[in-house]
Amino acid sequence: MSSPSDPVVPSDQVSSEPVPSSPVANKRQEPRPDAGHVPMTEELDSARWSLPPLMPVLVAAVVLGLVLGTYLYTSQKPPTSSGSALRVVALPMHIESNSSIAPGAMGTVDQNVEKSDSVMVNIALDIKNAIQKPMFIKGVQGKLVTEKGEFTDDAAPAGDYERILQAYPQLAIPDAKPLQAESSIPANFDQHGLVVFSFPVTKEDWDKRKSLQATVSFYDHASLVIDATQTASAADATLPIKITK
């Protein structure tokens, strides 16, 4: 039985439509993805697990390559020196001696006569200092490559040059002075100088040489390698063999 105070709602005003349920109650709770338990079909087919797009990766790689290439190009220092071989004079020598202190030490012994062969090489070098301060020469080394191997020799001291020319005047190169170790080349200056080497090879080995180089070493700077192979091929580069008995 209704209370007198309760309002009476007419039956024709009562809605017959169903009352909608709460959206929170009907919202299905989707499980969070578990990387350790991803279904095989979803792992292979779903876009959620696909790799990044290819184009951005390629663009990033190209940009990184350009940046790295630019850094390497700008970080390289220009050469501090350059040079060339102006002239080569080679004197093959064959020596036979029966009064050697140590027979056979420098060659072969035939009937108590020691026989040895060598080639003395005088090279005129042009060395250019390409920086704004003096460069100091530490030394010069020659390298001869033949079919029988590689031979190296340090340049004769500048103080011995006159004595060498007195013994072998054929080696002289006019209007040139020996290149001195421990000397300096002024900034942006071309220095001409002579270096003399001696290689224990025969004239035949010299004629079949593969290369001839002179390496100038500097203090605090990279060494300068000068190729004299082509210059040594000049018609007047190799003198007639000198035989001493």
At 199, the amino acid letter reads F
Would you state the structure tokens that stand for residue 57, as one six-digit string? 């990766």
Residue 218 in 3-state DSSP? strand
CB 158 within 8 A of CB 181: yes
CA dist 196 and 213 (Å) reads 12
> What's the confidence (pLDDT) of residue 25?
47
> What's the confidence (pLDDT) of residue 2?
47
Regions in the chain scoring below 70 on pLDDT: 1-52, 70-77, 99-112
In terms of Cα–Cα distance, which of 151, 129, 155 is closest to 140?
Answer: 155
Report domain extents, the chain: 32-75, 81-96+114-244
> What's the confidence (pLDDT) of residue 38?
53
> What's the confidence (pLDDT) of residue 37?
56
81-96+114-244 has which fold? Immunoglobulin-like (2.60.40)
pTM: 0.67
Q: How many CB atoms lie within 10 A of CB 85?
A: 20
At 152, the amino acid letter reads T
Sign of the torsion angle spanned by Cα atoms 171, 173, 174, 178? negative
> What's the confidence (pLDDT) of residue 63?
83
